Structure 1
Amino acid sequence: MNHTSPQRALLLQLFHSALAAVDPLAVLAPHLPPPPKGRTIVIGAGKAAARMAQAVEQHWQGEIAGLVATRYGHGAPTRHIEVIEAGHPVPDDASTTAAQRMLALVRGLGEDDLVLCLMSGGGSALLSLPAPGITLDEKRELTRRLLASGARIGEINCVRRHLSAIKGGRLALACHPARVVTLVVSDVPGDDPAVVASGPTIPDGSRAADALAVLGKYGIAVSPAVRAVLEDAALAAPAIDDARLRGNRSVVIASAQHALDAAASAARAAGYTPLILSGSIEGEAREVAIVHAGIARQVACHGQPVAAPCVILSGGETTVTVRGGGRGGRNAEFLLALAIALKGMAGVHAIACDTDGIDGTEDNAGALLDPQSLARAALAGVDAGARLLDNDGYSFFAALGDLVVTGPTRTNVNDFRAILVEAPAD
């Protein structure tokens, strides 16, 4: 790609406009509750947790203390709220330590106290305390297998929730009788606060039987210990109408829709008609790419549903069923499949990035695509089809110098995709 092209600059501008719109430092303050009569304890987990803690400290009136857990490398300096870094997407011992300490911190609070909970995507792994009878290694292995199976994030979190001693509203029970206010940066399609980070302070109404159904759907065998937990009614998560949770509330302060709206405004200012498809698209990354390619082709060839020049925008969370041994990331996989589907179509440029700055487990947020990407790859001896079969989108775009590297952004509203369709030349 011409690294100084106006198309590349615009796509990067759209991505950074999206990130700015969901930065906790910019959006959290208006949602803070009034200080309570008693103490204020801050807890939380997720890739945005440290940044959210920073925002609370900047704006809170009165004394405050607490603990949040975030992914390694996603920390931020705080004065009163301790930040613990832990494993993601697979939990580690630090994840368990964070959960144990958080539970201990909120026990013994009174009805005049407030617990301010800061939740964002990634919290499921970062706050991990297996249910009695299950080891962390067992839960970790189940997580690995679910991640590789193509299961949707909601399905994965359903299993995590029902094998946990802290998720599914269990952390809120530990806070009782203190009031709990949960502020959420949503990374899930539909923006249900109970689903983000598997809802430690918000029950979602699912049952252990639903977790068993997910495991069965993807052919994942479970040990007798795991099955015993899922069949033990005494270990079930609290119901949505549990009286001990009355008075608690939650609010989504940032979501994919906020990011897409900001990108749409930036596109419009640059002279491009924005077309927002959805902020909650799910499915296999390569299949989602084929659909996006079809829409771009319809715009370019027929001016439908909007005329070029336009920018097609979408968010959500795609999945990748891992069959190869390459270096992947769902956004790189999406773009590689998009390139193959478009076949070098003139006038179409694209970006796909994870808003947390990390595409899967790699060091990039995503990548950029232009009409010459396939031709440049062929000249470099890089076979796009073979790389896609090997789930090796990262290596494909690395060879072209078209990775987008931001480092941790300390927010997380999941995937961001923008496809720029230029007007046909006269």
Structure 2
Amino acid sequence: MTSAPLASLAPRELLGRMFAAAVNAAQPEHCIPPHLPEPPRGRTLVIGAGKASAAMAQALERHWPGPLSGLVVTRYGYAVPCERIEIVEAAHPVPDAAGQAAAARLLELVRGLSADDLVICLVSGGGSALLPLPGDGVTLADKQAINRALLASGATIAEMNCVRRHLSAIKGGRLAAACHPARVVNLLISDVPGDNPMDIASGPTVADPTTCADALEIVRRYGLDLPEGARRLLESGAGETVKPGDARLAGVTTRLVATPQMALEAAAAVARDAGVTPLVLGDSIEGEARDVGKVLAGIALQVHRHGQPLPAPCVLLSGGETTVTVRGKGRGGRNVEFLLALAVALDGAPGIHAVAGDTDGVDGQEEIAGAFATPCTLKRAWERGIRPRDRLDDNDGHGFFEALGDSLVTGPTMTNVNDFRAILIT
């Protein structure tokens, strides 16, 4: 895509184009075909889970040269038409019975395969909640309560997924082990900092070096109150996952088909076309969203005041997955929490605009991707009787930006490479 020069583009339009380019770079229709394996002598079975898994299945169907069948589970509203692969919808981020039933069906589907068969596993972010098959002694209600507690705890995605893997009957390599002796090719769209396959959907088809003891330490660290069955599963060691070196995983190949870095590079290309210098700060930035907002505001102000580390016009790009420790009762998400904290820290500094959004189109539990911030954000809020710091304290980022008409609403994007942040200094 060729952009117009900055002088002819409003900052909000340029930021919107960068966000769109980031999402487009991770669309399954573009990133699945180059990574398809050779057809097998036996059957081809497609399985998967995640917000992008249905679109991945559709792309695979369009480009696969032979027969295939299968089942993938995606978030409600994210299904797309497929002819040979069944698409099931379930709840995210808090799991439901539909996801539990789909996970059980996936395990049953892969049993009895031969060494001549091929399993193509399509996994993207959101798969943890969409495959909520509890381990022994753990109920779906337990999984729902644990998921809610983890989401509100401030734990990193790696920490959350460590706990989830050890309370599951399908994650942590268990689904791949059930496929043995068939060959397994994992096609993954990464939504996690560092792109570690075991953290993408809690790694249902890859080995897991972490342990039940690690999961218990995370539970202790965040003061989580585990249901009795879940605690017993971890303390007994019965929840151990499939470890590296397990012979059942010898035929597993993993390919990352889209990552946050690819999305950032696509956005950077849009900026350069518009005459704006991009600076990618990192694709795996973590931490409390409001703290990250303060830090990036400091960098933006250094550019604005001193032309360091580079002069304007420029854009600071970053990805990753921040966290929010929920203390208020507002309508929040990590991207709008970041953006509100950024706006407060910038305090109306001129010439600084920003966008922050989740590339799957859903920030937190709202059907809103994120929002835009401008030098006038705080002034416009005060004029409406809205106190920005109070809204931040109440974790009410969505309520704040929606009241200003600055929400970023995309609908389901059919992909997910996690958070996207762009701070434009003109």
- The alignment's TM-score, normalised by the length of structure 1, stands at 0.97
2:383 aligned with 1:379: yes
Find 1:118's aligned residue among 102, 116, 122.
122
* Alignment map for 1:299-310 (pairs within 5 Å): 299-310=303-314
- The residue that corresponds to 2:262 in the other structure is 258
Which secondary structure state, in structure 1, belongs to the residue aligned with residue 287 of structure 2? strand
Structure 1: state its 5+ residue gaps: none
* Alignment map for 1:268-283 (pairs within 5 Å): 268-283=272-287
In 2, the alpha carbon distance for the partners of 1:416 and 1:197 equals 19
2:143 aligned with 1:147: no
Aligned residues: 419
In 1, the alpha carbon distance for the partners of 2:152 and 2:370 equals 19
1:246 corresponds to which letter in structure 2?
A
Find 1:415's aligned residue among 389, 412, 419.
419
* Moved >6 Å (runs of 4+): none
In 2, the alpha carbon distance for the partners of 1:43 and 1:168 equals 16
**Contact 1:195/1:204 (<8 A) preserved:** no
2:320 aligned with 1:316: yes
In 1, the alpha carbon distance for the partners of 2:66 and 2:254 equals 21
2:36 corresponds to which letter in structure 1?
L
- The residue that corresponds to 2:362 in the other structure is 358
**Contact 1:364/1:406 (<8 A) preserved:** yes
- The residue that corresponds to 2:11 in the other structure is 7
In 2, the alpha carbon distance for the partners of 1:387 and 1:234 equals 44
1:153 corresponds to which letter in structure 2?
I
Q: Deviations over 1:51-84 (max 9, x none)?
A: 1001100100100100001111111111111111
* Alignment map for 1:6-405 (pairs within 5 Å): 6-405=10-409
Structure 2: state its 5+ residue gaps: 1-7
**Contact 1:348/1:419 (<8 A) preserved:** yes
**Contact 1:45/1:118 (<8 A) preserved:** yes
In 1, the alpha carbon distance for the partners of 2:238 and 2:424 equals 53
1:143 corresponds to which letter in structure 2?
N
Give, in angstroms, the shift of residue 362 of structure 1.
0.7
In 1, the alpha carbon distance for the partners of 2:57 and 2:158 equals 25
2:161 corresponds to which letter in structure 1?
N
**Contact 2:157/2:199 (<8 A) preserved:** no
- The alignment's TM-score, normalised by the length of structure 2, stands at 0.97
1:403 corresponds to which letter in structure 2?
S
Q: CA RMSD of the aligned region, Å?
A: 1.0
Give, in angstroms, the shift of residue 224 of structure 1.
3.1
1:315 corresponds to which letter in structure 2?
G
**Contact 1:313/1:418 (<8 A) preserved:** yes
Give, in angstroms, the shift of residue 153 of structure 1.
1.1
**Contact 2:212/2:239 (<8 A) preserved:** no
In 2, the alpha carbon distance for the partners of 1:221 and 1:348 equals 43
Q: Deviations over 1:77-108 (max 9, x none)?
A: 11111111101111100110010100111000
Give, in angstroms, the shift of residue 227 of structure 1.
2.1
2:372 corresponds to which letter in structure 1?
L
In 2, the alpha carbon distance for the partners of 1:335 and 1:147 equals 19
In 2, the alpha carbon distance for the partners of 1:159 and 1:371 equals 41
Q: What percentage of residue pairs aligned between the two structures are identical?
A: 60
1:136 corresponds to which letter in structure 2?
L
Q: Deviations over 1:6-61 (max 9, x none)?
A: 11100000000111111111111000000000000000000000010011001001
**Contact 2:207/2:249 (<8 A) preserved:** no
1:357 corresponds to which letter in structure 2?
G
In 2, the alpha carbon distance for the partners of 1:146 and 1:101 equals 26
2:266 corresponds to which letter in structure 1?
A
Give, in angstroms, the shift of residue 119 of structure 1.
0.4
